[in-house]
Amino acid sequence: MLGRIIFAWWKGSKLDCNAKQWRLFADILNDIAMFLEIMAPVLPISFTITICVSNLAKCIVSVAGGATRAALTMHQARRNNMADVSAKDGSQETLVNLAGLLASLLMLPLVSDCPSFSLGCFFLLTALHVYANYRAVRALVMETLNEVRLWLVLKHFLQKGEVLDPTSANQMEPLWTGFWPSLSLSLGVPLHRLVSSVTELQQLAEGHQEPYLLRWDQSQGEVQVVLSQGAGPETVLRAATHGLVLGALREGGPLPRELGELRSRVRADPNKESWVLVKETHRVLDKLFPEFLKGLQDAGWETEKHQLEVDEWRATWLPSPEKKVL
């Protein structure tokens, strides 16, 4: 029970953002839990520990599997018919369980007297189960952007000037948890994590009118973003794009001319003040992001909503005054 509560607190906010990855994780963890139950009688010394670990794994599966199932059901309810899709999904699962029960009753006399054959069948069917779940998750095409899909689409756009369509980006998306961009992107953090003085706040807010403040810690590879009260989905998408563009400055590959010049300056002077680079990338994004946003919409991505992980903190600050030309 404690494991279930702790896992929901620890990873609950990531289940919506990376529903496909956590769905596959839950299926694999469930197979591991069943294997531990099978092996528990073989190891009488550690029987209690083995059963406890198995039950802990099943509790995590119930959280991850149930939550991601709801998220994927919502994705499949194309006519806002979530109840209908959920009911039919439950009926399909019942039919599969019934077929599995009948098949197990037929196989039981064949394997009951031969443990090695039984274990071989388990490994064969488990491998088939993992492969089938992998293919099912891989077939899902999500039209909303999470951090990984946004990074794949943005990287392709910066290198080739084209926006990947949802099908292509979903095919490239890694399905194993842990294979994320090396940059740590935090959206919706409290203001005190970015600034500790009025001077720092003025530095971050100077030169742009966007309703977010961004700080880049080059040494730690972290980008933290404070969102204003009026920040909507498009603002969040631009802030995430801004953070990933900063991460692209530390990597290889072709970039547009303005970003290529910035990358050369970053490599030439790694100790340069980050807020100066953030200010300069704001100017680049003023030209780049509208084109990128239009490309996303034309390619079929939903930009009015997203699956980026955003915390609830919001702040209010005075915008920097626009410079008047005499």
Residues 85-100: tens digit of each pLDDT: 889 988 998 999 999 9
Answer yes or no: is pLDDT of 82 > 90. no
Answer yes or no: is pLDDT of 325 > 50. no
**Mean pLDDT within 135-142:** 92
Q: What are phi and psi of 303, to 5 degrees?
A: -105, -5
Of these ranges, 74-78, 124-128, 217-221, the one predicted with the greatest mean pLDDT is 124-128
- For 178, left (φ over 0), alpha (ψ -120 to 50), or beta? left
Q: Tens digits of per-residue pLDDT, 140-172? A: 999 999 999 999 999 999 988 899 999 999 999
Q: What are phi and psi of 228, to 5 degrees?
A: -85, 175
Three-state secondary structure call for residue 62: helix
Distance, in Å, from the CA atom of 144 to the CA atom of 285, rounded to the nearest integer, reads 21
Please state the pTM of the whole predicted model. 0.86
Alpha-carbon Rg of the chain, whole angstroms?
25
Could you tell me whether strands 212-217 and 222-227 are parallel, antiparallel, or unpaired per DSSP bridges? antiparallel
Lowest average pLDDT, out of 108-122, 127-141, 211-225, 261-275, goes to: 261-275
pLDDT at residue 112, as a whole number: 79
Answer yes or no: is pLDDT of 61 > 70. yes
What ranges in the chain are assigned the alpha helix state H? Answer: 2-17, 19-39, 47-76, 82-111, 115-138, 147-160, 166-172, 198-205, 233-248, 257-268, 274-299
Answer yes or no: is pLDDT of 273 > 80. no
Cα separation values, 128 from 27, 39, 66, 94, 134, Å: 12, 20, 22, 20, 10
Answer yes or no: is pLDDT of 239 > 90. yes
Q: Which residue in 17, 28, 12 sits closest to 64, CA to CA?
A: 12
**Mean pLDDT within 126-148:** 93
**Mean pLDDT within 296-313:** 91
Dig out the tokens for 205 from the structure: 């807010």
Task: Identify the DSSP state of 310.
Answer: B
Lowest average pLDDT, out of 160-164, 181-185, 233-237, goes to: 181-185
pLDDT at residue 180, as a whole number: 56
Name 13's bridge partners: none
Dig out the tokens for 231 from the structure: 């920040």
Percent pLDDT > 90 in the chain is 41
Residue count of the chain: 326
Q: Tens digits of per-residue pLDDT, 35-51? A: 999 888 888 888 999 99
Q: Tens digits of per-residue pLDDT, 1-37? A: 888 899 988 888 888 888 899 999 999 999 999 999 9
Distance, in Å, from the CA atom of 303 to the CA atom of 118, rounded to the nearest integer, reads 51
